[in-house]
Amino acid sequence: METQELHRAGLMEAKAVGSTLKLHPICSCEMRQRNRSQTKEMKDKKRLDIEFKSMLIRFFKNFLEKIDKTSEDMKRDQLELIRNQQEMIRDQQEMIRDQQEIQNTLSEIKNIIQSPKNRMEDRKNQVKDLEHKEPEDTSPQKLEGKRIQKIEDNVRNLWDNFKRTNIRIMGVPEDEREQDIENILKEIVTENFPHLVKELDLKVQEAPRPVWLNG
């Protein structure tokens, strides 16, 4: 009996040892699988981190590029605006100079037109002065000298008047309008320089016809 019990105890111990030996390979496979899972998770996490960082880098790069482009566009627009303002200032200055030149020219024309009348008044005053002067030497030699001098003065005055009052408006046919020269000149000035009409009081005096047109 004792021998049988010992044999049974040995068999049971052997079974227990065998079952233990069978369990060890199963635990090793689970560990390897668990390690592989952890490794994969780490790789996936690392890959996601890399992708996220790459996405952030691309985003900020595009953002900075847009900011740079916007800044360049703003600078270009500002420079263009400054150039336009400078051109406007130059145009205004040129317009002011042109208006001043036109006003000066019209003033000169006005003086030229009115100068024959002034010269006529001067000659009248000279005649009056001569009338009020006391009698001078009336010797024949003195009278002959005065006569020659008077002829020379008359010729000189006639030539001066001929040169200075030889004024005509080019492009205006004679005897084709009922308006006089003053109205024609005012019409030309009104059409071309309306803002200066009120500043100038134009008066036209009749001028002799040029010799080369009398032929």
What is the extent of the structural domain holding 93? 16-115
| pLDDT tens, residue by residue, 63-91 | 888 888 888 889 889 999 999 999 999 98
| pLDDT tens, residue by residue, 134-162 | 555 566 677 777 777 777 776 666 666 65
**Domain count within the chain:** 1
Q: What is the DSSP letter of 28?
A: H
Taking Cα atoms as reference points, which of 151, 157, 206, 214 lies closest to residue 182? Answer: 206
pLDDT of residue 188: 67
Assess if residue 193 is contained within a domain. Answer: no
Assess if residue 122 is contained within a domain. Answer: no
Assess if residue 182 is contained within a domain. Answer: no
Written as six digits, the tokens of 213 are: 């047109």
Assess if residue 20 is contained within a domain. Answer: yes
Assess if residue 110 is contained within a domain. Answer: yes
- Between CA 169 and CA 192 the distance in angstroms is 15
pLDDT of residue 89: 92
Q: What is the mean pLDDT of the chain?
A: 69
Statement: residue 114 has pLDDT above 70: no
Q: Residues of the chain with pLDDT > 90: what percent?
A: 3
- Between CA 196 and CA 100 the distance in angstroms is 10
pLDDT of residue 60: 87
- Between CA 126 and CA 136 the distance in angstroms is 17
Assess if residue 47 is contained within a domain. Answer: yes
Is residue 140 classed exposed, middle or buried when 0-12, 13-18 and 19+ CB atoms within 10 A define those classes? exposed
Average pLDDT over residues 15-19: 52
| pLDDT tens, residue by residue, 178-196 | 455 566 666 766 776 665 5
pTM flag (> 0.75): no
Assess if residue 166 is contained within a domain. Answer: no
| pLDDT tens, residue by residue, 88-99 | 999 889 889 888
- Which residues, including other chains, have CB under 8 Å from residue 142's CB and lie 6 or more apart? 136
